[in-house]
Amino acid sequence: MQSLVQLLKRKSDTHKGSYGYVLVVGGSPGLTGAVCLCAQAALRIGAGLVKAAVPESLHEIFEIKLTEEMSVPLPDKKGCLLAKGFDLIYKLDKVNLIVIGPGIGLAPDTKKLILQIIEKINKPMVIDADGLNSLALNLEVLNRRDNQNIVLTPHLGEFSRLAKKEISEIKNKRKKLAKEFALRYNLNLILKGHRSLVTNGKVIFENNTGNPAMATAGAGDVLSGVVAGLMAQGIEAYKAAKLGAYLHGLAGDLAAGEKTQSCVIASDLIDYLPKAIKRTTELTK
């Protein structure tokens, strides 16, 4: 079986553009770290270029926090992104994939921007956090997309809003409801939690990596970045979602093994990704 190291092996005559351009759209007051964790994870997993499209009034913060990743200032009001920033995002050249949601907040105009991006920019996407909460208000935008190469990464609360089901019902029928939702909207879904589920509506994968150390702020942002970085390198969306969930959990297991479960933070998951990749010899079919 082909190892993940072999799958991600790079050819000699290549450049950063050969490995994908990820754009992370997000950020709001008090939530700048979410964007940074997502962007750093996408770069660490192998994306060639990562940019963060963030509120202009917070831009200086991102210029300080991000080193290898670049940032793009967008119009905002009091640190919340405005819908008029859509044209700037639409015109960004050579973007292969968009992550939308980390730290983005739910200001009314921000929600408009999120829905515009999902509906009108037909590029592969990973949608997380308040990107999902905005999407739950108008799921029909998914049916108006030409490009269905999309991954949603909800936890139980976010999936409850998307599926319009009580959390108790979801817990009792996790596999059935996750699969039905993915099939209905023709997308890939990572339902996060103990033994996260990954499905494209046709098949379902139950992840067996991860541990309680990962119940820490920012862990979900790292997962979104990992999946996005894999997709940007040309890995098909369902496979990227499956591999991303597995590697994310394995990085958490390795980090907890050395640091203890109580001491793991989200950035540790990024640091342990290289070891997780080296350990992974399955799930590449």
* Strand 97-100 to 49-55 pairing: unpaired
Q: What angle do CA 166, 266, 64 make, to 5 degrees?
A: 120
Rounded Cα distance, 244 and 45, in Å: 9
- Which tens digit of pLDDT belongs to each residue from 11-36? 888 989 889 999 999 999 999 999 99
Q: Give the closest residue to 62 by CA, choosing from 34, 88, 89.
A: 34
Residue 96 is assigned to a structural domain of this protein:
yes
Quick one: CA torsion of 229, 230, 234, 239, rounded to 10 degrees? -150
Residue 4 is assigned to a structural domain of this protein:
no
Residue 8 is assigned to a structural domain of this protein:
no
Residue 260 is assigned to a structural domain of this protein:
yes
Residue 149 is assigned to a structural domain of this protein:
yes
Residue 44 is assigned to a structural domain of this protein:
yes
Q: Which domain holds residue 220?
A: 18-279
Residue 241 is assigned to a structural domain of this protein:
yes
- Which tens digit of pLDDT belongs to each residue from 48-82? 999 999 999 999 999 999 999 999 999 999 999 99
Q: Does 2 have pLDDT greater than 90?
A: no
For residue 5, what pLDDT is reported?
A: 63
Residue 212 is assigned to a structural domain of this protein:
yes
CATH of the domain at 173: 3.40.1190.20
Percent of the chain scored above 90 by pLDDT?
A: 89
The sheet carrying 125-127 orders its strands as 70-74, 49-55, 21-25, 97-100, 125-127, 150-152, 188-191, 197-199, 204-206
Dihedral class, residue 283 (left if φ above 0, else alpha if ψ from -120 to 50, else beta) = left
Total count of domains within the chain: 1
Residues in the chain: 285
Q: Give the closest residue to 251 by CA, choosing from 233, 265, 235, 230.
A: 265
